[in-house]
Amino acid sequence: MSILNTHILHPTLNDDNLISLFKDIYDGKVILFLGAGTSVTEEKKFLSKELLEYYRIENSVPYDANGDIVDFVDKVFSLPNYDRKDFDTKIVQKLKSLKYEEQHKIMLEIPWISIITSNVDLLLENAIENMQQESEFQVVKNAYELRKIGHSDKTLIVKLHGCISDASKYPLLFSTQDFIKNKSFYDLIFNNLKQQSPEIKILFVGYSFADEFGKLFLNNFSTNFDERGYFVADPFLDTNDFNLGYLQSKNIVGIKSSAKELFKLYSDWQLKNSTARGKISNTFNYLNLSSYLQIKLKPFLRPLNKNYESKNITSKNYYLGEEPNYNVIKNNFDVIKQSKLGNVIQKIDEIFANSSRDICPMIFLKGSYGTGKTTFTYRFIESYVQQRPDTLAFEIYDLMRFDERVVAEMIESFPVGRKIIFYSSNTELDLNFKKSREIQSRISANQFQGKNIIFVQSIRENILEVYKRKLNLKNEIIEMNIDSVFNDFELGLFIDRLNTNELISIRSEKEKVELINEIKIKFNNSADQFLILLEYIEKGKHINSITDTYRNFENSATKLAFVNTCLLYQYGIKMPVALLKEIINISWEQFIEQVIKVDGKGIFIQETYQPENFLETDLYFRIKHPIIAQRFVEKTLSQKDVRKKIDLICQELPPNESSVYVFINLVKSFINSQCFDNAFIYRLYDLAYTNLKNFPYFILNYASNLKYRGDLQSLYKALEIIEENEDSEVSDYNIFYRNSNFIHRKASIYFELAKIKFDDDPLLSAEYAIEAEDLFQIKENMDPQSIHSYRDYLHFLYWKLNRWSLNEEEKISLEFTIRNLVKKSKENLLQGLYLINKVSALLIDKNLKNSFALGERVDKLLGDKETRPYGLLLQLDLNQVSRNAYIPEDELIAELEHNSHVYDVSLFLFNYYSKKLNFYTYRIKFFEILKDSQSLQKRESLNVLFYNFIAESYSFRFKDAINYLKDLKKFYPGATRRNRIYWLESDSENERIFEGKIMVREKNYYFKSIETGGELKAKIKLDSGTTSLEVNQTCKAKIYFNYNGYNAVILQAALDIKVVLNSVELV
């Protein structure tokens, strides 16, 4: 980074340095630090000096008025006659009286990467609320909350020194001891800031070197960022040459301005330049989406059409191994394999035709390494969209930033009958593969009627086999092998293109024919593009030329950067700038000159990103193609060298989020490729722990690795590191604020300990088992849409059922727990049902098939007072398979109601009543059983909320119903439900048909029931048979309940509608 050597002493719109900073701010390249000066308003001034003085006078504290607040708090509250709590309370009272001003609104409208503030007041929060911008910002107030932050398009506001919103939970920092306790929070902030490239600027506003408190904080920052440099807007900036020279030596650029003046200048500059800047790309324009939606989609999604925007790749670079993008197809650089393409298109047609699936299909186009899977998939999509103009295709180019809400809004805006293809090419990495499955599930959960959606992935065949085995995918995916060799015509065309780009030399048709025959003989008629490139480009020395390029780099830093980047990118992992700098271990100035500014010869490539917040880096390095990186490593490094360099990478991982994802993807790639033994993998985790121990996602994976090792020492350590990262302030009763992933991992570890100790220490084993079961229950209650809430829990219950010495009551109770878990999983899961069905077949279906054995067991259970309630429950099963042993259901239910104190009975009755809520008598019983069973409310909270929503709806108490629905969406935002529950006629089994009118709100169609006074509004679910709808048209509909609320199915047979939906021009 070229350090600005000119301070901005007289800021105006004519100052080039200031304008340069404003441009960076506008482009989202600046992180803002806010100090107390930004809380000075026209009415009140509460800087640290004023706060100190108010308290000193009010409480007659004999303290020197010239001291600073840190010294004041350190000294005064070391004395027994002064109360620190009283001081904090008075500070809170003072600061709560502050009112935000226009400068705070301007500040919040600026596109900062993030805002980090040492202020403890609520000026920003109040301004956000007044502007109704709560959905645009996320405020975090301690290290635990910051570590929980995932990918989000919200602007992140971090409060470093506590908050007056709750001074007990977020203590106010004023003393030396306070700052020492806060060191881990500072470290977390600073370490993440260090991962940014020099293109990202840091601006301090509201701090002054003239204020002791501000000076203390700025000096603390400078200690960590001497090389990095930053800007400080200080209205009291000392402009003598000595001070300005000192600041320059520290790479600090001074701006002599108050916060209010600086933000006003920025606002004026933005207004002046608004017509020339900020134009939205036309990428999404053909879809008629709002500007807001386009901006939200752009960070992770690209339409695949003629407006595609990405890096332009030349034909020569493409043939030399550059990773392809859709521009390769637009420019027709590829050789089309027509036969294979036609087969794939036909199969995709068949998949689209079968639109009755619960989940949007995931199609894997698989093939061998380097055979052009990505190019083929792009070509397939281009051909399919051209031939079928009712199809839209999109590329998810950043899976981790995928925003399901925004994409759902886009999908809803499309007319009925649209086919939609979502494609991503980078799912071979472990985290990306899992994320793609999560996206598939979440999009499917929306149940877009009238929209036919598929997901397409290109992937190596061997990697797909690994994931199929690990995740029990079995019948959940669709595979198509797209490996295909060139026929004679295609081979000739490919040779022509290599010749045109001067990559080979063909001077006559005779030479071309000879080369074709040579290739066919050499590769036994199985030549594909990759093999030909490696063999013939540069006379078979393509990899040698890359090695030569590496050797010709002028300095050792560039060579070291290239080698380490290859080590990562052979697995498709890009090298973050902060990690690369740590490995090379040189100053920022040297790093910029020797790495960032170096000519990569078209092989060593830099990629820049717009970070969502300061937790993400903005610059990565990669090689031209993973295959090139792999061949380079194989040719250049011995296995011993590779191990040493991987060791170094893991030791030098900077403590930030980017390092976590690099490490996890790297070790998962090693595991999947089986290139290193377990001992080496264990060592890498142990090395990385030193720098990554404060990051929850690393801890989850490290704990899993420790569990996999299987020895007691490793299992105890796994528990220890999880508990160190859990928030100790969150109680068991406030489960929705706990980390469900930590809970699941702890449960599985306790389960493992219970198995290990089962034979030699049964009492301790039982203690571990009880702990495991409690945690499994909490996980299942918190996260009912995850397969992880059921898989290990079912394994645990099955182990307990088979290994423990249980009496008949305990055994049957356990069996009913398993049954209920299977039932809930089938209601809530869209993926991972293979294991569930296996357990169901083993423990449930098997028993129902043998009516004689079931009858004998029922008789035995009914004959014992303790087990009789379970006998009644099993009798209901027996009724289904044997008429000879039939007992009327109403008799069984009546007796069960007298045994509702048994949890399994109360759970059965809850589920039984839930299916009959349209009957008034059962609604009353439903409410009564919930009132009498607190454990039921706690363990079945999702179903309790959902069926309360339904029950209140049947009672026409729509306000109460919607409140239950709001709580359901709040606590279970990702919950899905497979089956529809239709609104039935009162005291009947018949589905109710409502009369009403069609209305439109925010591009969505709703059915408004006339019979309920307009209180009941249901979102219309369209299917492919619905061709048109007319606003205000009277019609009939069925209504069903789901986790998203009321949904209406219009009865077309009752309508004669002639209305056209908004059309979308397809490109």
SS (H, E, C) 602-614: CCEEEEECCCCCC
What is the domain extent for residue 164?
Answer: 16-42+100-273
Q: Give yes or no: residues 859 and 876 share one domain.
A: yes
| Confidence band for 1054, pLDDT divided at 50, 70 and 90 | very low
| Confidence band for 721, pLDDT divided at 50, 70 and 90 | very high
Give residue for tokens 């009498």.
932
**What pLDDT shows up at residue 525?**
67
More confident residue, 989 or 1020: 989
Check: CB of residue 998 under 8 Å from CB of residue 976.
no
Q: Reduce the DSSP state of residue 520 to 3 states and report it.
A: helix
The type of residue at 727 is D
**What pLDDT shows up at residue 277?**
44
pLDDT at residue 982 tops 70: yes
pLDDT, average across residues 331-335 = 91
- Of 413-417, 597-601, 828-832, 979-983, the least confident: 597-601
- The domain spanning residue 462 has which CATH number? 3.40.50.300
Cα(688)–Cα(232) distance, integer angstroms: 35
Helix extents (H) in 447-587: 461-471, 488-500, 509-522, 529-536, 542-551, 556-569, 577-584
**What pLDDT shows up at residue 730?**
45
Q: What is the 3-state secondary structure (H, E, C) of 277-336?
A: CCCCCHHHHHHCCCHHHHHHHCCCEEECCCCCCCCCCCHHHHHCCCCCCHHHHHCCCCCC
Q: Give yes or no: residues 1036 and 1001 share one domain.
A: yes
- Of 228-232, 243-247, 336-340, 551-555, the least confident: 551-555
Q: Give yes or no: residues 193 and 333 share one domain.
A: no
115 assigned to some structural domain: yes
Cα(16)–Cα(499) distance, integer angstroms: 50
**What pLDDT shows up at residue 1059?**
37
Cα(279)–Cα(1047) distance, integer angstroms: 38
Q: Give yes or no: residues 392 and 509 share one domain.
A: no
| Confidence band for 737, pLDDT divided at 50, 70 and 90 | low
Cα(1006)–Cα(1000) distance, integer angstroms: 6
Q: Give yes or no: residues 912 and 948 share one domain.
A: yes
Q: Give yes or no: residues 186 and 294 share one domain.
A: no
Q: Give yes or no: residues 197 and 213 share one domain.
A: yes
105 assigned to some structural domain: yes
614 assigned to some structural domain: no
597 assigned to some structural domain: no
Q: Using one digit for the tens of pLDDT, what is the confidence trace for 909-940? A: 999 999 999 999 999 999 999 998 888 888 89
Q: Give yes or no: residues 416 and 446 share one domain.
A: yes
More confident residue, 53 or 562: 562
Domain total in the chain: 5
Check: CB of residue 636 under 8 Å from CB of residue 549.
no
pLDDT at residue 360 tops 80: yes
Q: Give yes or no: residues 190 and 298 share one domain.
A: no
873 assigned to some structural domain: yes
Kindly state the percentage of the chain with pLDDT values over 90.
39
CA-nearest of 350, 348, 328, 332 to 340 is 348
CA-nearest of 191, 189, 295 to 610 is 295
pLDDT, average across residues 87-106 = 88
**What pLDDT shows up at residue 5?**
55
Q: Reduce the DSSP state of residue 236 to 3 states and report it.
A: coil
**Final residue of a domain: which of 957, 982, 1007?**
982
Q: Using one digit for the tens of pLDDT, what is the confidence trace for 489-518? A: 888 998 898 889 888 888 899 988 988 888
pLDDT at residue 1024 tops 60: no
Cα(356)–Cα(361) distance, integer angstroms: 11
Cα(404)–Cα(974) distance, integer angstroms: 10
Beta strands (DSSP E) in 193-242 are: 201-205, 230-233
CA-nearest of 933, 946, 871, 874 to 907 is 933
Paired tokens of 865: 């007072």
711 assigned to some structural domain: no
Check: CB of residue 809 under 8 Å from CB of residue 866.
yes
**Final residue of a domain: which of 430, 459, 484?**
484
Q: Using one digit for the tens of pLDDT, what is the confidence trace for 185-242? A: 988 888 888 888 888 999 999 887 766 666 777 777 777 776 677 899 988 888 888 8
Q: Give yes or no: residues 841 and 932 share one domain.
A: yes
- The domain spanning residue 1047 has which CATH number? 2.40.50.140
339 assigned to some structural domain: yes
- Of 280-289, 558-567, 694-703, the least confident: 280-289
Neighbouring C-beta atoms of residue 44, cutoff 10 Å: 13
Q: Give yes or no: residues 259 and 293 share one domain.
A: no
Q: Give yes or no: residues 157 and 109 share one domain.
A: yes
| Confidence band for 152, pLDDT divided at 50, 70 and 90 | confident
For 404, 424, 442, 840, 1038, the CA distances from 445, given in Å and listed in that order, are 10, 20, 5, 24, 20
Q: Please state the separation of Cα 948 from the chain's center in Å.
A: 30
385 assigned to some structural domain: yes
Paired tokens of 524: 């036994």
Cα(750)–Cα(756) distance, integer angstroms: 10
Check: CB of residue 222 under 8 Å from CB of residue 252.
yes
Paired tokens of 786: 């995850």
**Final residue of a domain: which of 431, 451, 484?**
484
**What pLDDT shows up at residue 371?**
77
| Confidence band for 885, pLDDT divided at 50, 70 and 90 | confident
**What pLDDT shows up at residue 964?**
95
More confident residue, 488 or 112: 112
Q: Reduce the DSSP state of residue 1026 to 3 states and report it.
A: coil
